[in-house]
Amino acid sequence: MSLTNKVTAEDVLRISGVDASRCMQCGKCSGACPNYDEMDLHPHQFAALLRKGEVERLMESNALYQCLSCFACSQRCPRNVEPAKIIEAVRLTVIRQKGRNYMTADRLPEKLDEDLPQQALVSAMRKYSK
Amino acid sequence: MQKIGVFVCWCGSNIAATVDVKAVAQALKNEAGVVFSTDYQYMCSENGQAMIRQAIKEHQLTGIVVCSCSPRMHEATFRKTAVSAGLNPYMVEIANIREQCSWIHKDIAEGTEKAIVLARAAVAKLHKNAPLTAGTSPVTKRALVIGGGIAGIQTALDVADAGFEVDIVEKSPTIGGRMAQLDKTFPTLDCSACILTPKMVEAAQHEKINIISYAELESLSGFVGNFTATIRKKARFIDEDKCSGCGVCTEKCPSRKGLDEFNMKLNKRGAVYIPFAQAIPNVAVIDAEQCLHFRTGKCGLCQKNCSAGAIDFEQKDQLIERKYGAIVVATGFKPIDASAFNEYAYNDSPDVVTSLEFERIMNAAGPTKGQLIRPSDLKHPHEIVVIQCVGSRCTEDKEKGKPYCSKICCMYTAKHAMLVREKYPDVKVHVFYIDARTPGKNFDEFYRRAVEQYDVDYIKGMVGKVAVEGDKLHVQGSDLLNGEQVHINADMVVLATAIEPDPTARSLGTMLTASMDTNDFFTEAHPKLRPVESPPAGIFLSGVAQGPKDIPETVAQAGAAAAKVIGLLCKNELTCNACVAQTNEAICNGCSQCEKVCPYGAITYEDKEIRSPEFRGIRRIATVNEAICQGCGACTVTCPSGAMDLKGFTNSQIMSEVDAICR
Amino acid sequence: MNYSYYPGCTLKTKAKELDIYGRLSAAKLGIILEEPEHWQCCGGVYPQGEDEIATRLSSIRALAAAKEKGQDLITLCSACHHVLKRVNNDMKRNATICQRANNYLQLDTPYRGETEVLHYLELLRDRIGFDTLKSAVVNPLKGVNIAAYYGCLLLRPGKEMGFDDPEDPCIIEDFIRALGATPVKYSQRNECCGGYLTLENKGAAQKRAEAILSSAADAGAEMIVTACPLCLYNLKNNAKTKIPVKYFTEVLAEALGVKEEL
């Protein structure tokens, strides 16, 4: 589905509150990421592509939905760049668009099992839809 | 009334691009007392100076105002020019229309207006200038070098070779410093001890060098050429004159709990020990915290076994007071504490070591006798991962890392990798790096040899986690060139940790009133043109205390610092600052406020006979020792009665400037 | 001593043990936990977007309610703790968020992050003290090798959470020791369990859980304790390796002799 609203790098920087220019591309974030193999773009690329203004590439990335929000990247970044915040900001710019919710309530019943805590549902809905 | 000349410099386009220099020269012609005013492209050039000399003679000028760059740049130049034309050097005023005007303004109208105001202020001040004559002070022909590593040793040797007495104060029991701990040196791979110990011996045997080991500077007073230092020589409980360094005491000592600092605490040592075989002085030292005699009052085995009778449990700290003409800071560095980096499992596994620890493991005199074995199980490792930039280039957390590049890690890592591959071709070495920074003669070639000839696996990326899994270290990192996350099951991990100034640097800097940066490195007087001098006169910088550097750079800087020291010590007397404080005896009431604030101890009191309209009789009056006063002005602002004034910067001169600016 | 206590949704349903054993143990230790009447779900995840205001409001209401009572706010669930703590930091440090949130809430007095958010474990460590806890233990869990699972949310980002050293924590190990059991240290204790990804990418979540369980098993763990319902779910359900996983409050209640069968 196409995007209804154009998103710029400035939008992402404003929402994230991150200064991506501090990134020195050391790759420690991507070395720390526990879900690296599931992502098409990786934490250090979020900082790099954002610097180049290539927000659309980021918005089309599946990494937005594979990020665990575990904050390992942010914690271990030696430059205080906080890639997790960039990923979250880009995800917000997508799911705030009309018809771009990644997960909708009608898909939840199939995912339920007896032990699943409410916390999982609430978290997933917060992450994947608006 | 003075006859003043005004000289406005363009400084090429530095000033002329933002200030209408002709308009400034023109405007100043209307100032009272100004009889000549002109502009020129480069006033500091020979032609510019000739123009000034000619104008002084032609118009019989009594003083000049040069509108140019900061007085820090060329005040001395123009004072000399004035002197050569027969003027007193203190009849020169500089209006700084570059740093304080053209460089910070963009608009020509604004810049020009401000330049005129600054020039007027200088003219107003000059009207109240009086010729001044500087006094002289003698020079103590002896240097103090603080720190006995390669930097301190080299500076001391060079100064001593020029014929001056040098004292080296070293805080640990031996000189040698960090270089003594290194196995090999890059980029030649020659043995560190083999090239260092001859220098240590040379220093020890030099008739002009006096090594004061296990000692620290306690306090310092005085000024360039005339420092007085108090040095605390810590009790080592060994009579240095009697001890022959035979080592019997170190073998007999039953305590084995002390951690061997020389081997980066990788092994234990006795409570009485000699740091390493080539230590200088080759004299034992007792670690009172570990010594059974000090802990329990018993033992004394060392004393019983010492045939020289050198053990002295009663020894006390000793204070040595000595005068010096120059002081050299050569306090060096230490690796940062890696315990903040447990994402690399430094606290969790003894097989994760810092590079300096690894250096000791690789050294024949080290804890493993040079055999490459893991600290945990003493097994031979087959796969080693080196992580570079651990704590360097880190702006995230000041406690954890340092914002600067430590400069030496890329090269010592290449060295480690090569040494391992040379000696143990079965061991795989992976190096995670952000950038391989190898500027330096034969440095990049050295690093490339590690890659090409020794097949070291350089991975551009960073490690995110080292996990202890059984007896393996699971290293998870990014490989940015191949776009993948890599997982290596390593046997050892080496952290190329950042270096930081020795922890004593900050307090020493305060004692010397030397400026330091936010990382506690000593700041040079000028980053390009005065790289081995600290801003306070007579304090010089040698080695890593000033900033990260390798051995060749350290030795070069040590020599440069020595040249500056020699240049100072070969003078018999120094011209003092003419701009010193003076007392208006008619007003001074001897309240002692100025004496309390004077950082140089330049003020004393005398009972003097005063004959003024208000008072006749004997009164206590402040007197300034002009050889000691550095003209800082602390006394003038403290004096409650306004009796203290600074020559060349009198209260009335400053007020004239302010009035001119506010006019 | 009285504290405000924010249980969170899951502790009322799937994670009752975490809540009930926490309350029983607190009572035994002389701590009174007062649950505010009208608390709302924190949302489970901290809204990292600086322009997200509405998603912060439920946390701020709970924080402001605690302030009204003049009490510190105790949390149990790692996720709730993470959200409340960070939203509270925002109210303290981010003037824009603070102002916008207060514009919505229209409280009698604006809330500016005055409440102190304490995790139950911090309460044990900093207010009660592990030595006092140790002396209150009636059934020491002697000889049990327990592995602490911290996960992400209690520890990171370290500067914001201020809970423990994020790379080398010791609070749960010290807690385990106070109960008389033996803590087992293992490398994956502060790595992610897979979190909400269990709904979106089961395979990836299973890999995470297995990495943690096998690491703990290799280190000799007989039991894992955690403070997070989602961690507990993932560790229990998503790993092939099986080790009993319990809430830390359950072993606490057991050691204090107040455990009842639920």
Give the pTM.
Answer: 0.91
Contact C218 B467 (CB under 8 A): no
Q: What CA–CA distances, in Å, run from C186 to B385, C116, C218?
A: 21, 31, 8
Task: Tell whether C127 is covered by a domain.
Answer: no
The residue range of the domain holding C165 is: 132-256
Same domain, B637 and B611: yes
Contact A115 C237 (CB under 8 A): yes
What are A36-52's pLDDT values in tens digits? 999 999 999 999 999 99
Contact C165 B342 (CB under 8 A): yes
- The domains found in chain A, sorted by start residue, are 9-99 (1.10.1060.10), 103-130 (no CATH)
- Identity of the residue in B401, B460, B465 whose CB atom sits nearest the CB atom of A78: B401
For chain C, helix, strand, coil in percent to 5 are 50, 10, 40
- φ and ψ at residue C111, rounded to 5 degrees: -95, 130
SS3 for B509-522 is HHHHCCCECCCCCE
Q: Tell which of A77, A114, A119 to mutate to test the C interface (max C CBs under 10 Å).
A: A119
Set of chain A residues whose Cβ sits within 8 Å of the Cβ of B409? none
Distance from CA of A29 to the nearest CA of B (A): 6
Instruction: Tell me the HSE value of B145 on the side-chain side, using a 13 A CA sphere.
Output: 38
In this prediction the ipTM stands at 0.95
Instruction: Extract the tokens encoding C252.
Output: 């606490």
DSSP string, A35-53: TGGG-SS-HHHHHHHHHTT
Beta bridge partners of B321: B230
Q: How far apart are CA C134 and CA B411, in angstroms?
A: 52
**pLDDT cut 90: percent of chain A above it:** 87
- Identity of the residue in B394, B395, B485 whose CB atom sits nearest the CB atom of A31: B485
C167 touches B at CB < 8 Å: yes
How many A-C residue pairs are in contact by the CB < 8 A criterion? Answer: 128
Mean pLDDT (chain B, rounded): 96
Residues 6+ apart with CB under 8 A from B173: B213, B214, B236, B274, B275, B279, B283, B285
Q: How far apart are CA C213 and CA C147, in angstroms?
A: 10
Distance from CA of A98 to the nearest CA of B (A): 33
Same domain, C145 and C115: no
- Identity of the residue in B348, B397, B470 whose CB atom sits nearest the CB atom of C218: B470
Same domain, B267 and B391: no
Burial of C95 (0-12, 13-18, 19+ CB in 10 A): exposed
Contact B389 A30 (CB under 8 A): no
Residues 205-234 of chain C with CB under 8 A from chain B are: 215, 218
Contact C167 B468 (CB under 8 A): no
Q: Which chains touch A (3 or more CB pairs under 8 A)?
A: B, C
- Identity of the residue in A15, A82, A123 whose CB atom sits nearest the CB atom of C196: A123
Contact A38 C201 (CB under 8 A): yes
Same domain, B487 and B372: yes
SS3 for B365-412 is CCCCCCCCCCCCCCCCCCEEEEEEEECCCCCCCCCCCCCCCCCCHHHH
Same domain, B413 and B487: yes
Residues 6+ apart with CB under 8 A from C135: none
Q: Pick the closest to residue C164 from C176, C147, C180, C150 (CA basis).
A: C150
Comparing alpha-carbon positions, the chain A residue that sits nearest to B390 is A78
Contact C187 B470 (CB under 8 A): no
Contact C188 B467 (CB under 8 A): yes
Instruction: Tell me the HSE value of B659 on the side-chain side, using a 13 A CA sphere.
Output: 10
Judge whether residue A34 has pLDDT over 90: yes
Residue B119 in contact with residue B95, Cβ under 8 Å? yes
A119: helix, strand or coil: helix
**Tokens 């959470």 sit at which residue?**
C161
Set of chain C residues whose Cβ sits within 8 Å of the Cβ of B474? 187
Same domain, B490 and B507: no
Same domain, C143 and C236: yes
What are B597-622's pLDDT values in tens digits? 998 788 999 998 888 787 788 889 99
Domain boundary (C59, C94, C120) is at C120
Domain containing residue B89: CATH number: 3.40.50
Q: How far apart are CA B535 and CA B260, in angstroms?
A: 38
Beta bridge partners of B285: B273
For residue B214, the 8-state DSSP code is S
Same domain, B213 and B255: no
Q: How many domains does chain B have?
A: 5
- Identity of the residue in A70, A88, A113 whose CB atom sits nearest the CB atom of C49: A88
Can you tell me the mean pLDDT for C72-100?
Answer: 98
Residues 413-442 of chain B with CB under 8 A from chain A are: 432, 434
- Identity of the residue in C48, C50, C79 whose CB atom sits nearest the CB atom of A84: C48
Set of chain A residues whose Cβ sits within 8 Å of the Cβ of B341? none
Same domain, B266 and B148: no
Same domain, B282 and B326: no
Residue C191 in contact with residue A34, Cβ under 8 Å? yes
Q: How many domains does chain C have?
A: 2
Domain containing residue B165: CATH number: 3.50.50.60
C200 touches A at CB < 8 Å: yes
Q: How far apart are CA C200 and CA B363, in angstroms?
A: 53
A81 touches C at CB < 8 Å: no
Domain boundary (C120, C143, C158) is at C120
Domain containing residue C115: CATH number: 1.20.1050.140
Contact B462 A26 (CB under 8 A): yes
Residue B510 in contact with residue B220, Cβ under 8 Å? no
Task: Tell whether B11 is covered by a domain.
Answer: yes
Same domain, C138 and C233: yes
The residue range of the domain holding B370 is: 335-500
Domain containing residue C200: CATH number: 3.40.50.11810
Contact A68 C15 (CB under 8 A): no
Domain containing residue B628: CATH number: 3.30.70.3270
Domain boundary (B513, B545, B569) is at B569
Domain boundary (B95, B126, B157) is at B126
Same domain, B451 and B510: no
Judge whether residue A1 has pLDDT over 70: no
Comparing alpha-carbon positions, the chain C residue that sits nearest to B339 is C168
Q: Tell which of B351, B469, B474, B493 to mutate to test the C interface (max C CBs under 10 Å).
A: B469
Task: Tell whether B660 is covered by a domain.
Answer: no
Set of chain B residues whose Cβ sits within 8 Å of the Cβ of A31? 432, 461-465, 476-478, 485
Contact C167 B341 (CB under 8 A): yes
The pLDDT value recorded for residue B1 is 84
Judge whether residue C259 has pLDDT over 50: yes
Contact C13 A117 (CB under 8 A): yes
Contact A24 B394 (CB under 8 A): no
Q: How far apart are CA B247 and CA B307, in angstroms?
A: 11
Task: Tell whether B383 is covered by a domain.
Answer: yes
What are C12-64's pLDDT values in tens digits? 999 999 999 999 999 999 999 999 988 999 999 999 999 999 999 999 999 99
Q: What CA–CA distances, in Å, run from B369 to B189, B372, B378?
A: 18, 9, 12
- φ and ψ at residue B458, rounded to 5 degrees: -85, 125
Helical H segments across B453-515, by residue range: 505-512
Distance from CA of A6 to the nearest CA of C (A): 17
Instruction: Extract the tokens encoding C23.
Output: 């309350």
Q: Pick the closest to residue B497 from B409, B433, B393, B374 (CA basis).
A: B409
Distance from CA of C201 to the nearest CA of B (A): 19
Set of chain B residues whose Cβ sits within 8 Å of the Cβ of A27? 434, 460-462, 477-478, 480
Same domain, B396 and B526: no
Set of chain C residues whose Cβ sits within 8 Å of the Cβ of A119? 8-10, 15, 44, 77, 79, 228-230
Contact A35 C208 (CB under 8 A): yes
Distance from CA of A127 to the nearest CA of B (A): 25
Contact C49 A15 (CB under 8 A): yes
Task: Tell whether C125 is covered by a domain.
Answer: no
Same domain, B540 and B642: no
Q: Which residues of chain B have pLDDT under 50?
A: none
Q: Provide the sign of the torsion angle of the four alpha carbons C59, C62, C64, C66, taken in this order.
A: negative
Set of chain C residues whose Cβ sits within 8 Å of the Cβ of B397? 159
- φ and ψ at residue B122, rounded to 5 degrees: -65, -40
Comparing alpha-carbon positions, the chain C residue that sits nearest to A103 is C200
Q: Tell which of B339, B342, B347 to mutate to test the C interface (max C CBs under 10 Å).
A: B342
Set of chain B residues whose Cβ sits within 8 Å of the Cβ of A42? 478
Same domain, C68 and C153: no
Domain boundary (C120, C145, C177) is at C120
